[in-house]
């Protein structure tokens, strides 16, 4: 995990603080930035390495902007769903998990709202 503080760096004035979290094949970036009026906001970026048929790769990124007026509701909602999962998830013994070949693959395309 990496983190750094950029409060006094003139050319990077908008980016105040960053933290990178590696989680398997994904990396999440939590970046605190400032508007011109010096109001802080958070960007959360998910980055995944994707390979093309020819073996070349690119990074697919998805970004979420979270503004200070939404911090509390966002944190409450996130905490509630994480607690629900921890409480209600049926954990399989490690041996059964290793034998299981079924995985849930959720793609962002699956989450798009149909019109």
**If phi over 0 gives left and psi between -120 and 50 gives alpha, with beta otherwise, what is residue 65?**
beta
Structure-token pair, residue 105: 């693959």
Which ranges constitute the DSSP H helices of 5-115? 71-88, 94-99
Q: How many distinct structural domains can be found in the chain?
A: 1
pLDDT value of position 15: 81
Task: Give the residue numbers spanning the domain of 18.
Answer: 2-90
Structure confidence at residue 95 (pLDDT) = 57
Residue 108, pLDDT score: 57
pLDDT value of residue 65: 95
**Tokens representing residue 26 in the block:** 């994904």
For the chain, the farthest-separated pair of C-alpha atoms sits apart, in whole angstroms, at: 55
pTM beyond 0.95: no
Mean pLDDT by 10 residues, the chain (115 residues): 48 76 93 92 93 88 95 96 90 57 57 51
pLDDT the model gives residue 82: 92
* Torsions phi, psi for 39 (to 5 deg): -85, 130
The confidence score (pLDDT) of residue 115 equals 45
Residue 86 resides in a domain? yes
Residue 93, SS3?
coil
Kindly state whether residue 103 falls inside one of the protein's structural domains: no
Query: Domain for residue 79, yes or no?
Result: yes
Task: CATH number of the domain at 43, please.
Answer: 3.10.450.700
């Amino acid at each position: 995990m990496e983190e750094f503080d950029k409060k006094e760096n003139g050319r990077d004035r908008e980016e105040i603080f960053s933290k990178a979290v590696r989680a398997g094949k994904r990396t999440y970036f939590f970046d605190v930035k400032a508007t011109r009026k010096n109001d802080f906001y958070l960007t959360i970026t998910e980055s995944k390495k994707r390979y093309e048929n020819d073996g070349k790769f690119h990074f697919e990124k998805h970004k979420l902007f979270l503004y200070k007026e939404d911090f509390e509701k966002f944190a409450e909602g996130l905490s509630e769903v994480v607690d629900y999962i921890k409480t209600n998830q049926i954990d399989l013994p490690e041996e059964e998990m290793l034998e299981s070949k079924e995985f849930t693959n959720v793609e962002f395309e699956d989450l798009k709202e149909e019109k």
